[in-house]
Structure 1
Amino acid sequence: MPGISGQSRGRWGRSALFAIAALFALAPSLADAQTYPNRPIRLLHGFSPGGAADALARIVSDGLSKRLGQPVIVEAKPGAGGNIAAAAIANAASDGYTLGLVTGAHAISGTLYKKLAYEPTDSFEMVSTLVYYALVIAVRADSPAKTLPDLIAMAKAKPNELSFGSVGFGSTHHLAGELLTTTAGIKMVHVPYRGDAPSVTSLLGGDVPVIVGTTVLLAGQIESGAIRGLAVTSPTRTPLLPNVPSAEEAGLKGYDVRTWAGLVAPKGTPADIVQKLNAETASMLADPAVKKALETATGGEVRGSTPEQMRVLIRSEIAKWSKVIDDAKIARIE
């Protein structure tokens, strides 16, 4: 080659070889992305069959199955606040055939546990958020607390004498209650239960005077008059409980707790596959029937995202809950 030395030609040759090698290395993943999916996909979640997360997962599996042309099979791996499922997702093959449905508890685990078998953001490729939904602070219908300010006044008059129930230690419900105490400057004792149903039974039986519960599961009891909703935990009212004020309306300024659900894949899942999943998820969420089903199942707001927006959400949630845990002096789990 005129004007180019032998040494330069050698460097050009080596560069060409590296480029060709890189293309060969990329070829399998490009081929996979072009044919994806060509077999069933697993959708894991970390909560009990029949619960809210399971209901969400089944709506999503049906919506994605129709768009991807392959079955999306829901698999529950309950335990440790979703950590068992998250570890299974993180350790699965990064080929797009294992996905995970995670909730707000995923970010809480990122700060509540001293050690995890995965890293809440870096062990996953984010696909999209799905839905955001509020919780509700509730008492029995015959409670002397008619409003949230009433409850706060009662708790101030009797520090650590009132208790509040939740679906379990380290849940979003638990930490919503802890944030209530620190924001309002009161002290209440947390009583963990194994799910919404036992906490509601305990409230109705008079064993616990207050619970932080899931709106969609308490709506019937609130509408019937058996339970009084004092406030929802979002800044504005939820359509599911239009007569229950937000905590902000009730005078608890700056109080905002909304849990969420979203889709993740194992770290290293090819970018083309993640993009395809994100696009099909967006298409699914725009479907009026799917949107209605998700809103009915959660009482929340359907909202998709880019993968990066979901990653930013989880990081911000980890920082938020870390402060709540520190302020409430909750011991982190080994």
Structure 2
Amino acid sequence: MARSLDALRGRWRALRGVAAVTISLICLAPSLATAQAYPSRPIRLLHGFAAGGAADTMARIVSDRLSKRLGQPVLVEAKPGAGGNLAADAVAKSAPDGYTIGLVTGAHAISGALYKQLAYSPTDSFDMLSTMVYYALVIAVRADHKAKTLADLIAMAKAKPDDLSYGSVGFGSTHHLAGELLNITAGTKMVHVPYRGDSLTVTSLLAGDVPVIVGTTVLLAGQIESGAIRGLAVTSPARTKLLPNVPSAQEAGVKGFDVRTWAGLLVPKGTPPDIVRRLNAEIQSMLADPATKTALETATGGEARSSTPEEMRALISAEIDRWSKVINDAGIPRI
């Protein structure tokens, strides 16, 4: 009788083990099915800036490479407006199925610091995929300007507070806040003049409408090399490959000054974790390819570098905190 009971108990334990394994496999099946089926149709790559600009160029480089890796077309869609906020909102409100990817830049974090209220959270409305590239800006004057160095410009700005102005791509841009951070760090009071795009700042500088601009290294490199514009300093801690003869702001005497904008990819919050992992792996592999790395670095004048989703989320959170302080210290009104 005892042996019969022991045998029954043994069979019961075995059945429970089989049941547990079966349940685990059933629970895992949807995830495995999603991973194996994705992607089964074209993917949309959305960004919030004008066609032909740096973000659009990066998006097209990424779309070409990801299309080949994923076996489905990755279609670039520009939705410009509000410093990238319209596109970010559209991504946040898209189905979390991996078929809408957003390309965001440093402006994504600045919006979190500058806007009193957004229709989405720059961190909590998204699952991050990876950063792609980091790049510096350049502080420049026309070639015939009296300032030969950044130190000269700072001395002139201190001698006549509120008299010297600088142009940028627009209010609340990284370029704008880089100028304000320079004011704070160097103790100057240059006045910001917003324009609608990088190219307009260059036109105004060359026309003498504005004496100083903060612009992208890629856009200004040709003019600097031709001698029409003088680059006083790049905003990264070290010189850039694109402008090796232009010193960093720190070299020029502004200690601790470091402004590098960035670009990265994200998806709507709630995207299946296996899809997030798949996309992160593909991006990591894509950026390890020398040809892709060169293409992105040529397009931005920066450094191509991938990250984990967690690292990208931490970057955005830290950038929001950093720019919030700059906005407060500079007395910039929030929108």
TM-score by length of 1: 0.93
Q: SS in structure 2 opposite 1:75?
A: strand
Give the number of equivalent residue pairs. 321
Aligned 1:258-269 pairs, distance under 5 A = 258-269=260-271
Equivalent residue for 1:303? Answer: 305
Q: Structure 1: which amino acid aligns with 2:53?
A: G
Name the CA distance, whole Å, in 2 between partners of 1:306 and 1:271. 13
Correspondence list, 1:81-160, <5 A: 81-160=83-162
Matches of 1:207 and 1:328, distance apart in 2: 24
| Structure 2: runs of 5+ lacking an equivalent | 7-11
**Structure 1 residue runs without a partner (length 5+):** 4-8
User: Shift of the alpha carbon at 1:35?
Assistant: 1.4
Shift of 1:28: 3.6
Deviation at 1:34, TM superposition (A): 1.8
Give the Å deviation of 1:30: 3.5
Aligned residue in 1 for 2:196: 194
Residue number in structure 2 paired with 1:229: 231
SS in 1 for 2:209: coil
RMSD value, Cα: 1.8
Distance 2:180 2:25 in 1: 53
Q: What is the deviation of 1:278?
A: 0.6
Q: Secondary structure at the match of 1:243?
A: coil
Partner AA of 2:94 in structure 1: A
Secondary structure at the residue paired with 1:38?
coil
In terms of mean alpha carbon deviation, does 251-260 or 29-38 score higher? 29-38
The structure that has the greater radius of gyration is 2
1:37 is displaced (CA, Å) by 0.8
Query: 1:125 is aligned with what amino acid?
Result: D
Select the residue among 72, 75, 93 that pairs with 1:73.
Answer: 75
The whole-number CA distance in structure 2 between the counterparts of 1:31 and 1:113 is: 40
Q: Determine the structure 2 residue equivalent to 1:242.
A: 244
Match of 2:57 among 41, 50, 55: 55
CA distance in 2 between partners of 1:30 and 1:330 (Å) = 49
Q: 1:35 aligns with which of 14, 34, 37?
A: 37
CA–CA separation in structure 2 for the residues paired with 1:26 and 1:109? 38
How many Å apart are 1:23 and its aligned residue? 7.1
1:312 aligns with 2:317: no
Question: Does residue 1:167 correspond to 2:173, yes or no?
Answer: no
Distance 1:221 1:180, change over 3 A: same
Amino acid at match of 1:307: P
Q: Deviations over 1:50-109 (max 9, x none)?
A: 111000000011111111111100000000000000000011011100000000000000
Structure 1 partner of 2:9: none
Instruction: Give the fraction of aligned pairs with identical amino acids, expressed as a percent.
Output: 78
Give 3-state SS (helix, strand or coil) of 2:200's partner: helix
Q: Secondary structure at the match of 1:175?
A: helix
| In 1: Cα distance, 2:94 partner to 2:54 partner | 24
Partner of 1:215: 217
What does residue 179 of structure 1 align with?
A: 181
Give 1:33 deviation, angstroms: 1.8
The 3-state SS of whatever aligns with 2:222 is helix
Letter in 1 for 2:167: G
1:178-205 Cα distance to aligned partner (Å, 9 max, x none): 0000000010110000111000000000
Give the deviation of 1:27 after TM superposition. 4.2
